[in-house]
Structure 1
Amino acid sequence: MQDTPLNWDFPAPFTLGFSVQAEHIDFIGHVNNAVYVSWCQNAGWQHSLQLGLGLEEYQTLDAAMVIRRANYDYILSAYAGQECVMATWLTANDHKLTMERRFQLQRRSDGKTLLRGYWQLVCVRMSNGKPRRMPAEFDETYGAAVIRPRADD
């Protein structure tokens, strides 16, 4: 059986695939919601690394983007043996302190959306955890990665 093409909410996603394993399944028999959250975390961090901002850069700049607010819409369940694809996008950057990241998880076999997520991120100083203005490297790199919605959105 051929996989259904995936239909993303926004153009040009960063994607990361996941295979549902037995350890992802909860007592109800589907992927536990906390696993979806960890997949978002992993996709967000992998996207940051792909953009060239990882732990070394964070430490050098004494800056990190941390989650201030998170919202997840759990739409459908995933089950053991299924293949899923998480997409993520940076959707806003105020060029000062905050940016937004969105997520969409789809099941590869039927293209159904299982989860949509939203994060509001804030820049903090790693040395003390207090909010700080984004370093120029963050603003330039993350700012350039902010997606431009389709004309029909």
Structure 2
Amino acid sequence: MDWDVPSPFLLSVCPQAADIDGLNHTNNAVYVQWCERIAWAHSEALGLSLADYRSLDRAMAIQRATYDYLLPTLLGEPLRLATWLGAADGRLSMQRHFQLRRERDGVCVMRGQWNLVCIELSSGRARRMPAEFMVRYLPAIQQRTA
């Protein structure tokens, strides 16, 4: 498939009966859930789990989320969801991007972006990224080619 970056992190997804809304297509909220699932899987693949966040008392929290729903998806339709890290300031913020494509023809059906900010879990306040975040996340940043 032709992704917006050379090597995104990928997850196969397929709408199930519970994912389908009254318009007979995948409910948009399901896409948001899939994005959360792939974001955690990617973070864990980079070496940072929820347990690590808790032990470091830091997390990358969503400050803003945007989704462009381009085309509907249907029950049982095989899909590929991609994610990658985008711009980061190396202190407080970074972006995570998403792209969802149909497997049968590669057409992009959704794009999304999260603006993330590093917070201290115990206070909820913005705090500088710990060294563990910078070592794991910053080398994984990719720039869009499309």
The TM-score by the shorter chain falls in which range?
over 0.9
Match of 2:106 among 108, 111, 120: 111
**What is the alpha-carbon distance in structure 1 between the residues aligned to residue 113 and residue 107 of structure 2?**
18
Amino-acid identity (%): 49
Q: Counterpart of 2:66 in structure 1: which amino acid?
A: N
Structure 1 residue 10: Cα displacement? 1.0
Aligned twin of 2:138: 143
**Alignment-derived partner of residue 74 in structure 2:** 79
Q: Deviations over 1:107-146 (max 9, x none)?
A: 1011110100011000001111111000011011100110
Amino acid at match of 1:115: M
Q: Over the residues paired in the alignment, what is the CA RMSD in angstroms?
A: 1.0
- SS of structure 1 residue aligned to 2:68: strand
Letter in 1 for 2:119: V
TM-score normalised to the size of structure 1?
0.92
TM-score, scaled relative to structure 2 = 0.97
- Structure 2 gaps of 5+ residues are none
Q: Which residue of 1 aligns with 2:30?
A: 35
Alignment coverage as a number of residue pairs: 146
Gaps (5+ residues) in structure 1?
1-5
Runs of 4+ residues deviating >6 angstroms: none
Cα distance in 2 between the residues matched to 1:9 and 1:18:
19
| CA deviation map 1:45-71 (0-9, x unaligned) | 110010010011111110000100111
1: distance between equivalents of 2:73 and 2:140? 29
SS in structure 2 at match of 1:105: strand
Counterpart residue number, 1:63: 58
